[in-house]
Structure 1
Amino acid sequence: MFPFSRLTVVVLSAFMALPVMAANLQLRIIETSDVHAHLTDFDYNQNQTNPKIGLTRAANLIKQARREVKNSVYVDNGDVLQGSMLGDYMAAKGLAENEKHPSYLALEKLNATASVVGSHEFNYGLDYLNRAIANTSVPILSANVFDAKTKAPYFKPYLFKIMMLKDEQGQKHRVNVAFIGFTPPQVLQWDKRHLDGKILVSDIVLTAKKYVPLLKYLGADVIIALNHSGLGDGKTDINQENTTLALSKIEGIDAIAFGHEHDLFPSENFAHVAGVDVNQGTLNQAAATMPGQFANHIGVIDLILNNDSGKWRVINKSAQLRPIFDEKTQKPLVSNNWRLKWAMRPYEKATRKFVAQPVGNGAAPMANYLSLVQDDPTIQLINNAQTDYVQRELAGLPALAKLPILSAAAPLRAGGRHNDPTAYTDISQGNLTYRDVVNLYPSPSTVAAVKVNGAELKEWLECSASVFQHLQSGSSDVQPLVNWAGFHTYNFDVIDGVSYQIDVSKPARYNGDCLLVNPKSQRIRQLTFNGKPVHPQAEFIVATNNYRAFGGKFAGTGKNKVVLDSSVENRQVISHYIYTQTEQNGAVIAQADQNWRFAPVAANAYFETSPTERAKNYIEQNAVHPYIWSGTDGQGFAMYQFDMQK
């Protein structure tokens, strides 16, 4: 049965039966996505304002885009509650019974028509999310999340609006506009501790194929999908994480506001993809935008509707992005919206006080400017803390305590997706605060551990090594080292406790999704434990986070491999480790042990990193190779060359 009453059908049928005069009209859809609680332009990591981020700046772009047209709606595509220290502060404080979450308050003040439940909305638990949603007037949508017991939709699946839109002559017309939201099924793995046994999440594409005919039956003239999901490959394998390209093939969907991957669409990054027109801003039959992260862009979709046939139909569509900052001139393109800035001021002030809490001392500066080319002290500290915690947790379990404990961690702030030269971890020597801990580990994930064998361990590292391009040995060209387009740096796991080399003269064995693409290739060489080669059947415990442990993407991970599923956040473990090391030794020491390096290759390569003087000084003092600065690229990143044979 479709979830609507007979009265609904009668009313809608009456609206549909009203005569309309032939006309054209324009409907603009304005999108933000993956704001991640960056509600203002204050960067808590850097403890200063940053004109490249912030909903208070994007707010003026939204206002401007609305003024340009007669008809517009603003939608947010999710991941709005978590991702900045303000989000952490609100979760630590908790929401009072009728208290509005500042992220949803900001959407209200911007007159958002709807938002979707993003993947990170669950990070602080269902009770917290439910209260935040209950206290906002903004409809929060997700059509593919269901109550595990009743099987009923857990959130509002769609929003059906009968809108009065003006045509080119200023005459008003009734147009039925439907908004439907989607959430990636992987949230069941990523936030298992919060969601297990409470919700079910169905396949995005199958759910859309169920609801789109329903919305058309209800009389929708325009259907707009809010898809908190990346582009994907267009395939329809069940429960895919990134589904927008596949969704764009479904007849009836006119526009898609998407995100999740923090990338930019339309942009030349996707010009090679079949079905994509980056000039028009379309994916197959739908107009679409993906506006980056932290409100650094807005998406603008324009639909032209015509009713010559007696029904409103979309006859033209286009999409574009609008940035808040010009990377070429290094100047902001828009100021703060001071009404929103003033409304967010109390939350910003409280957050700054919250993150200034002391946790211990650091014996030396730590930065991850070189984390993609050599072993790194920030990763070392995370791995040391995870190893310490898991050792203590497993000490009372004889069958597991006797196994060697390794630890896996990746650079979580290392240039974004080659789109943010400021997104690096840099922590000064001396007093360490909670701000520094979050700088080290931005995610509120929890500690978990898996039991793997030597063969799985090697394949895990093989997938991590996919972050690097295949270099041509003997070439005289300076070749790019990092595969920004096909890989996320947060998947470049460094596993401490073993030693190994990465041979980039071989093609990557896996792609960025850990799918085997070159079965005969082997990049991981000289994998040893305690100086001896790792036997394929040798057993290890690997400390990591719940996302990785339950993800099943990397070899050795997945639900059946998990031996420790803690409710303690990685950040809590890091804070405790810093505190205890400070108590015992006066400061925490996180010197990289250089357990991995590149195998020598007859090639010159370059890599990208932060362009600041602080970064340049750190690289000069901590380089294990003679890296040579060679200017900046079009994204504002510093470029360094080095001889990989040395």
Structure 2
Amino acid sequence: METSDLHGSILPIHYANNEPNEVGLAKVAALLQKEKERAELEGGFVLAIDNGDLIQGTPLAYYHARIDNGPTDPMVLALNRLGYDAAVIGNHEFNYGLAVLNKAVAESDFPWLSANIVKEGTEEPYFGKPYLIKRYNGVTVAVLGLTTPYIPNWENPANIEGLAFLDAVETASRWVPYLRGEEGADVVVISYHGGFEKDPETGEAAEVPTGENQGYRLCMEVPGIDVLLTGHQHREIAGKTLNGVTILQPGYLGQHAGAVRIMLVPDGDGWTIAEKTSELLPVNGVEPDAELLALAQPYEIATQQWLDTPIGSIDGDMTVRDPMRIRMKDNAMIEFINKVQMETSGAAISNTALFSDEAPGFPPRVTMRHIVSNYIYPNTLKVIRITGRDMLEALERNATYFTTDGNGKVAINPKFAVPKPQHYNYDMWEGIEYTLDVSRPEGSRVVRLTHRGEPVDPDGEYDVAMNNYRAGGGGDYTMFQGKTVVKDIPTDVSELIANYILERKTVAATVDGNWEVVTGR
């Protein structure tokens, strides 16, 4: 049984409005219990693995990590109660820093696996043993943990200090023969917090090969793998094999549990796999586990009280009714976040994104619930020094978010929607004036770019405020990598937004119209 990319989701609710939602570990728990009962009747056993991105993502997780980190991590507490056998380190595990992560690992009754996250300068896995061995009635199952090695391209360097991230394929190539030979594994499972860089069915490239996702290569280049559990891309993949490897990816937030069923038959002194299947078990309509709900209740009460804390007022309209419209023309909500970043950092230029189509914007009366519903990531703020040429290149990268259909209507480029929505990789800028004409070929869509009314100088230098993910080049904004950091503000942007409103009590919605997206200009 696999969960992956739970992102702090225990309860089946939308935190933006507390409406019911068909997600969460409490629902998965009921499915897991049924599978354990079924396995017992059939004389087998269940291995429960969480595939990473566990402790970050909901207000409940944020409250625990940032506001009251004293109690046991609620996600760890839940997995302990459910008897999980192991968890894999995901990229979002580092978002709150190593102290928070190490505490969660120490509180776990199960091992955290990642063979390719090592102590800097060594090949020694940072989180202890890189694999799990399960022996049952003479059968030996090995589970090797791997994590996308692309983390240094996203994460705040302070949060991964002293760590090195090795190539996942090379690491698997070293460990799989060891598990087969030294540990005598009858079944080798890789639980990899990463996805597929190529379509598992056609082999066609699904993305630029950066090394972020290496699932296809793992199946094709590393002999001896029976099962590959994946995640990171939030895809729903089951019922497929790739080069003889059974593959699985169960979506995100606990919308599904993933199940791989393996039938083994005796073969001399060992065992042979007679059958392997994979499937997704949806949580729709499943009654959540009452014990898990009770376990989460103290955390939930504190979180809900915090979420309902009044912050201040908005004078004007900062709501989001149409996400596409927000991304097409300057608007009050995005301008406000950029203004917070600029005034906090002292930078004259800023960029930010509308991270999700579910972002509601800010109503007339603002609480913490509205802050974390719009700014959903624990990003911090950086000011980096870039050239005008970097700025132009970033805006051209931005403009690839859009495409046009046969009638000239603007639509989202499928590369930003499939297999995983990447709305967070489209930025909107303040402090410069620009126009993107998306009817033009990619690479030539910036038709206006000025700063304070003057053309941006390709060789000129400009200080720009942006979140730490983007400043590190996240989202393939490689033009930002390695730039001089003028200022590093190690406070969550959501907290900066809340403080800004708290100090002013009332914030006016303003729109200066500095940018727009057009067709045919």
Q: TM-score, normalised by structure 1?
A: 0.73
Residue of structure 1 aligned with 2:223, choices 251, 266, 272: 251
* Greater CA drift, 218-227 or 485-494: 485-494
Which residue matches 1:589? Answer: 508
The CA deviation string for residues 242-282 of structure 1, in whole angstroms up to 9 with x for no partner, is: 1112122221111122111222224xxxxxxxxxxxxx322
- One-letter amino acid of the structure 2 residue matched with residue 442 of structure 1: I
Measured in 1, the distance between the counterparts of 2:282 and 2:403 equals: 29
Instruction: Tell me whether 1:283 sits opposite 2:242 in the alignment.
Output: yes
CA 1:282–1:377 in structure 2 vs 1: closer, same or farther (change >3 Å)? farther
Cα gap change, 1:322/1:499 in structure 2, threshold over 3 Å: closer, same or farther? farther
Q: Secondary structure at the match of 1:556?
A: helix
Of residues 505, 518, 521 in structure 2, which corresponds to 1:599? 518
- Cα distance in 2 between the residues matched to 1:576 and 1:386: 12
Q: CA distance change for structure 1 residues 377 and 285 in 2, over 3 Å: closer, same or farther?
A: farther
Deviation at 1:555, TM superposition (A): 4.6
Distance 1:502 1:305, change over 3 A: farther
Matched, 1:225 2:159: no
For 1:535, give the aligned amino acid. Answer: D
Identity between Structure 1 and Structure 2 (%): 31
Q: Structure 1 CA distance, aligned partners of 2:111 and 2:173?
A: 22
Q: Which residue of 2 aligns with 1:82?
A: 56
- Secondary structure, in 3 states, of the residue corresponding to 2:184? coil
For 1:370, which of 318, 322, 332 is the aligned residue? Answer: 322
Farther off after superposition, 241-250 or 462-471: 462-471
Matched, 1:348 2:348: no
8 Å contact kept, 1:473–1:505: no
What corresponds to 1:420 in structure 2?
none
Residue 194, structure 1, aligned to residue 158, structure 2: yes
Pairing partner for 1:174 from 123, 135, 138: 138
Give the counterpart of 1:357 among 304, 309, 329. 309
Counterpart of 1:485 (choices 418, 424, 434) is 418
* Structure 1 position 121 matched with structure 2 position 93: yes
Query: Within 2, Cα distance between the matches of 1:313 and 1:467?
Result: 48
* AA partner of residue 306 (structure 1): V
Which whole-Å CA distance do the structure 1 matches of 2:320 and 2:512 have between them? 14
Measured in 1, the distance between the counterparts of 2:156 and 2:263 equals 43
Partner of 1:32: 3
Q: CA RMSD in A?
A: 2.5
Alignment correspondent of 2:26 = 56
- Kindly state the Cα deviation for residue 162 of structure 1 after the two structures are TM-superposed: 3.8
Q: Deviations over 1:186-227 (max 9, x none)?
A: 333433343454211111111111111111112111111111
C-alpha deviations, 1:272-293, integer Å up to 9, x for none? xxxxxxxx32233321222222
Match of 1:424 among 344, 354, 359: 359
Q: Any gaps of 5 or more consecutive residues in structure 1?
A: 1-29, 165-172, 267-279, 326-332, 395-404, 415-422, 510-520, 602-644
Alignment of 1:398-413 (within 5 A): 405-413=348-356
Distance in 1, matches of 2:57 and 2:449, equals: 35
Q: 1:257 to 1:112 in 2, by over 3 A?
A: same
Contact map agreement 1:459 1:555 (CA 8 A) in 2: no
Q: 1:387, 1:183 → 2: CA distance?
A: 35
**In the aligned structure 1, how far is the partner of 2:123 from the partner of 2:177?**
21
The whole-number CA distance in structure 2 between the counterparts of 1:364 and 1:578 is: 14
- The amino acid of 2:498's aligned partner reads S
SS in structure 1 of the partner of residue 429 of structure 2: strand
Query: Counterparts of 1:496 and 1:262 in 2: how far apart (Å)?
Result: 31
CA distance in 2, matches of 1:187, 1:409: 21
CA contact (8 A) 1:77 1:259 kept: yes
Query: Contact 1:456 / 1:555 at 8 angstroms: preserved in 2?
Result: no
What letter is aligned with 2:382?
A: A
- Whichever of the two has the greater Rg, that structure is 1
Q: Distance in 1 between matches of 2:423 and 2:133?
A: 41
CA displacement at 1:480 relative to structure 2: 4.5
Q: Greater RCO between the two (CA within 8 Å, min separation 6)? A: 2
Of 41, 44, 66 in structure 2, the residue corresponding to residue 92 of structure 1 is 66
Structure 2, gaps ≥5 residues long: none
Q: Does 1:501 align with 2:472?
A: no
1:92 Cα shift?
A: 2.5
Aligned to 2:382: 448
Match of 1:558 in 2: 481
Distance 1:313 1:378, change over 3 A: farther
How many angstroms apart in 2 are the aligned matches of 1:304 and 1:148?
40
Whole-angstrom distance in 1 between the partners of 2:189 and 2:143: 5
Residues 590 and 285 of structure 1, relative CA distance in 2, 3 Å threshold: farther
Query: What letter corresponds to residue 338 of structure 1 in structure 2?
Result: A
AA aligned to 1:201 is F
Mapped partners of 2:19, 2:382: distance in 1: 35
* Residues in 2 aligned to 1:68 and 1:496: alpha-carbon distance in whole angstroms: 57
- Per-residue CA shift, 1:555-587, capped at 9, x if unaligned? 5311234332221221222122222332xxxx1
Q: Which amino acid aligns with 1:222?
A: V
CA distance in 2, matches of 1:95, 1:577: 24
Quick check: 1:162–1:174 contact (8 Å CA) kept in 2? no
Structure 2 residue 263 is matched with structure 1 residue 304 = yes
Distance (whole Å) between structure 1 residues aligned to residue 513 and residue 271 of structure 2: 64
- Offset from partner CA, 1:55-87 (integer Å, 9 cap, x none): 111222222333444332221111111111111
Q: Distance in 2 between matches of 1:150 and 1:251?
A: 25
Cα distance per residue 1:514-559 (max 9 Å; x no partner): xxxxxxx412222222333323223211110111101263153112
Report how far residue 230 of structure 1 moved.
Answer: 2.1
Cα distance change, pair 406–93 in 1 and its aligned pair in 2 (3 A) = closer
Q: Helix, strand or coil for the counterpart of 1:91?
A: helix
Q: Are residues 1:459 and 2:393 paired?
A: yes
Relative to structure 1, the CA distance from residue 265 to residue 347 in structure 2 (aligned partners, 3 Å threshold; closer, same or farther) is same
**Amino acid across the alignment from 2:265:** N
> Residue 78 of structure 2 aligns to a residue in which SS?
helix
Q: 2-side partners of 1:115 and 1:441: how far apart?
A: 27
Please name the residue that 2:276 is paired with: 317
Amino acid at match of 2:256: H
Match of 1:184 among 123, 126, 148: 148
Letter in 2 for 1:335: E
Conserved? CA contact 2:400–2:413, under 8 Å: no
Count of matched residue pairs: 502
